[in-house]
Amino acid sequence: MSAIRSVLWGILRGLDGLRKVLHLLLLLVLLGLVVGVLRVGTPRVPDTAALLVKPEGELVEQLSGDPLQRAISQVQGQGHGETLLWDLIDGIHGAESDSRIKVLVLELDDFDGADGLAPLEELARAIREFRASGKKVIAFGSSFGRDQYYLAAQADEIYLDPLGSVLIDGYGRFPLYLKTVLDKLDVDINVFRVGAFKSAVEQYTRDSMSSEDRAQSLEYLGGLWSTYQRDVIAARHLAPGAIDQYVTTLAQTTAAANGSMAEAALKAGLVTGLKSKQQVEQRLVDLVGEDDSTGSFRSVSSDDYARIVHAQGAPGRGDRTRIGVIVASGEILDGDQPPGTIGGDSLARLIRQARLDDRIKAVVLRIDSPGGSVTASDEIYQEIRQLEAAGKPVVVSMSSLAASGGYYISAPADEIWASPATITGSIGIFAVIPTINRTLAKIGVNVDGVGTTPLSGQLQVERPLNDEARALLQDTVDFGYSQFVAHVAQGRHKTLDEVNAIGQGHVWSGIDAQRNGLVDHLGYLDDAVKAAARLAKLTRYRVVFVQPQLTWAQELALEINSMGARVLYEADPGARSAAAVAHPFDPLRQEIERLSRFTLPNRLYAYCFCTVK
């Protein structure tokens, strides 16, 4: 018996020893990964170099989706990618005073543009400030579209490939209208709304744009186009009207240049010269020297340089006074939502976090949102009121879009700042209830039964709405609108009649919104931060972005996944092209998804269908 015990004891000791060895091996592997990541994550800046700003995909206020899922998607070659606006700006500002950085290079071939003009204005301002430090900015592209050229115009030298083009197409809004297809499917769209200009539901109830929507769309699109032209003309020192003339006569000037759009752009003064990529690289080699490992010019990417800047500016352990910036980007939805959308619970939690942080003395809410759920918007609104009640000033900085629910959550702010190109307002409420009883009847499916009250079963999509349900829903929408108007009146110090006159779902440009009192000032995020400091009576402060914190394990996994994504992308650059095959069908898919989000029977929505292309 003692022999058996000895054997068992020996086995247990052996297993315990094996456990310790495995734990040690696991720790060594983790240590190796951490060391590897840190080694990769510490970029080196040459003694003389160019800062290479090469945005990929869309320029965004906030990277969308779960961070780990983003890395996995990159590995799988999905999506078109995103570039975070604030990383680019931080890198450019950091390079202004860095004696090693001699020139900023804008390479824009992989840039898909931005959703609106405001983010481009923020980035263009940073580029201009870099130039003001006495350093050169050089832009290159095989072709320039509208948004690419807006950034390129900020450079000292703009080089275009001889086979390329500058195609500036202005701004437009061309929604998909689904009434006919819904009629063919016998789907009834029951709409309840307030506001003569509340066009949010017209895509489901009409086959064409209403005269009201057409008028207001031309108004704010014209404001966008005027701002674009003004900024480009000032940057390139062109004659007034030069951009509009270039666009409207492009077919003729291209024909006169024997079909060369590049020559037409050169003659119009939009570019400095026509050079191939290799010729531009040689120009940069002459300025900063050659990188022996690549044969190209010495450079550091803006991504790597932003990491250096962030590491140098990381907050210390002391209680230093701060202004918190909270980014609210995307549709407003109920509950917890990932970055790139606004969750009522998740954004309220961030605002509460800023309220409870004694180091944060004021908050800037950066909004880029068409709105969404009224319930979620009100949850955020109430949390902002709590923040102000705690004695912390709140300043709103509007990006391209802060309309409907996006304006709802702006209303209580102490000050509202917007870009001239911001689209805002759209103070209105709607509800959409689709019913498919006729659709089912076409295939022989009928619904019948009994209920104990007139409302029994009224919110089932397979049954038509009766008069009681319709009246109840319209009354609810009317009440929601009255609450919206009351919130705006209180926050903007206006009467209910004054707000109603500029409400009714009307969409305004930033310039017009300032004129009618929906916006206090026109300016950039930096201006809003300075306003918050003024309201909080601060002279020294640190600006911090308030956001959910990743655990160290998530950070590590994200970095490893990102490294893998870069490797796989270089091995198979066609993966992104394959994923883009379905891109032309995105607008229809997005409309269907949006309709499904906005048809919950017990929800009201404040949403502006006013994005531009």
Query: Which residues are annotated as catalytic?
Result: 198, 404
Q: In what order do the strands lie in the sheet with 188-194?
A: 188-194, 429-435, 605-607, 371-373, 332-333, 342-343
- Side-chain-side CA neighbours of 523 within 13 Å: the count stands at 15
Check: CB of residue 484 under 8 Å from CB of residue 606: yes
Cβ burial, residue 459 (10 Å; 0-12/13-18/19+): middle
Q: What are phi and psi of 363, to 5 degrees?
A: -130, 135
Q: C-alpha angle 250/253/255, rounded to 5°? A: 105
Q: C-alpha angle 306/367/411, rounded to 5°? A: 150
Which 3 state secondary structure label does DSSP give 144? strand
Name residues whose C-beta falls within 8 Å of residue 487's C-beta, 6 or more positions apart in sequence. 381, 408, 411, 412
CA atoms of 325 and 397, how far apart (whole Å): 10
- Helix ranges (H only) for 289-331 are 302-312
CA atoms of 209 and 215, how far apart (whole Å): 10
Please report the DSSP string for 269-300 in residue order. Answer: TS-SEE--HHHHHHHHHHHH-B-TTTSSB-EE
CB atoms within 10 A of CB 195: 22
